[in-house]
Structure 1
Amino acid sequence: MADLKLQDIKGEYDVIISLGSWCGPSLNLRRHNLRRFSFPLDWVVSNSLSDVNKLLKNGFDGFMDIRQMQRIDGVAAYLDDGDAVFADEGRKKQNAHFIQDSTYNIISVHDFPIIEEQDWKQRYPSYKEKLNYRIRKFIDILANSQSVLFIRWGAVIIPEALELRSILAGMTPGKCNILFLDPIADIPSVKEIDWGIDGICTVQVPSQSPNDDSMWNHVYDGLAITDYWKN
């Protein structure tokens, strides 16, 4: 089997989906007009691919169940599908708690606003309703798409990549490709890695500049989405 070069990944897909590990892949999909839907891993921190594999293999069972969620140290902007939310009293941006799912080690960083004298759990019902909708959408879109590209930023090793490919192949009947962006310190530019694995393209990217538009442009230019899911 031959792995995919970055140029081989380019082309049209019915849907392009971010699998984390942070918001960068989704934000830049939107910037390139390659994003039509919100999915469960768009706006969370999922540092471990092994944990993401576990989540997908379990079909999101128990994901962000309130019984396994806890507030941890950390603050980020409060976002609504990637857009900053402003406080009612003015144009001051709101911040959000870091809330971790202790089973899957995935952190909600944009969903629970910090409001004085309000416990984060008060927002849980509306959050869980939105999350469940995104999970159902994710499963339905995969089951009914003819071509899907998954994109993930984060450290990756071959056994975990192979496991992810196997899990995703069981969730979608169509063509399924995966693009890994592996952040590496002190490299000057994007570098392709030859793993020799069918359906997987891996590129190393500079870890010191995750918000560099030129880097994302290099990776995303040449990608497009079909009208298959156009509303």
Structure 2
Amino acid sequence: MELSKLKGGYDAVFSLGDLCLASIQLKKHNLRPFSGVLDWMASPTLSTVNELLENRFIGFMDYDNLRVIGYADSNICVSDDAYNLVSNHDFSREKNTLEFLGSYLEVMEKYERRIQRFLHQMQTAKRILFVRTEGTLEDAASLQNTLSEMVKHDFNVLLINHTPVKWMVEKHCPLEKVCMMEFPNEDIWEGNGELWKEVLSDIYLTKSK
């Protein structure tokens, strides 16, 4: 899919990881009207994100699968080993310790709301954009197949990989619903702002247009 075909209006836009970067950029460009499930989590492998979506989030952050990694500033860093996810922002040190996650039920109530909102949009939104950083063509193909089963209407995927390029590169992608780009990997947090702006230009939320 070519970048030009990605442009236009969407009823919903969701980040699918792999870090907070995508959700930060979506918010900066007014494309994040509500929180997604993976906005503030690390999800380094797209294959396990595909598995999470295939399972409709069943088993997500189950207590028996959690492993406390250590401190992350004012929070406790927690891994969901079943889905290879890491939470750095959910479990504050005020309510949790390395030995006991006291706010677990509270955190899961928040995620249950986000999951139900996500699944609702899959059935009701006329056009959805999913944004993901880091993923292979093979995993992108699996993602397209999974989303084709979940999304009732239309959707597209923007997949951005960070590689040793000097500027933005649009990759040829044989997948009908996936646009693949490459961004420089030297400073992914601050150095590619203009590239995100260019890619996300002429993409807008239909309800705000």
Query: Which SS does the other structure have where 1:111 is aligned?
Result: strand
Indicate the residue corresponding to 2:85 in structure 1: 106
- Of residues 131, 155, 178, the one that matches 2:157 is 178
Point out the structure with the larger helix share: 2
- Residues 17 and 39, structure 1, Cα contact 8 Å, conserved in 2: yes
TM-score, normalization by structure 2? 0.93
Structure-1 separation of matches of 2:168 and 2:4 = 13
- Of residues 2, 6, 18, the one that matches 1:5 is 2
Q: Deviations over 1:60-112 (max 9, x none)?
A: 01100111101114625xxxxxxxxxxxxxxxxxx212100010010111111
Indicate the residue corresponding to 1:36 in structure 2: 33
- Residues 123 and 151, structure 2, Cα contact 8 Å, conserved in 1: yes
- Quote the RMSD (CA, aligned, Å): 1.8
Q: How far off is 1:11 after superposition?
A: 0.9
Q: How far off is 1:182 after superposition?
A: 0.7
Q: Counterparts in 2 of 1:158-169, with a 5 A limit?
A: 158-169=137-148
Aligned: 1:195 with 2:192:
no
Runs of 5+ unmatched residues, structure 2: none
TM-score, normalization by structure 1? 0.84
Query: Which SS does the other structure have where 2:9 is aligned?
Result: strand
Runs of 5+ unmatched residues, structure 1: 77-94
Query: Which SS does the other structure have where 1:198 is aligned?
Result: coil
Q: Deviations over 1:17-76 (max 9, x none)?
A: 100001111111111111111111111000000010110011101100111101114625
- Residues 96 and 102, structure 2, Cα contact 8 Å, conserved in 1: no
Structure-1 separation of matches of 2:79 and 2:4 = 37
Runs of at least 4 residues off by over 6 Å:
none
Percent of pairs with identical residues: 31
Structure-1 separation of matches of 2:71 and 2:122 = 33
- Residues 95 and 102, structure 2, Cα contact 8 Å, conserved in 1: no
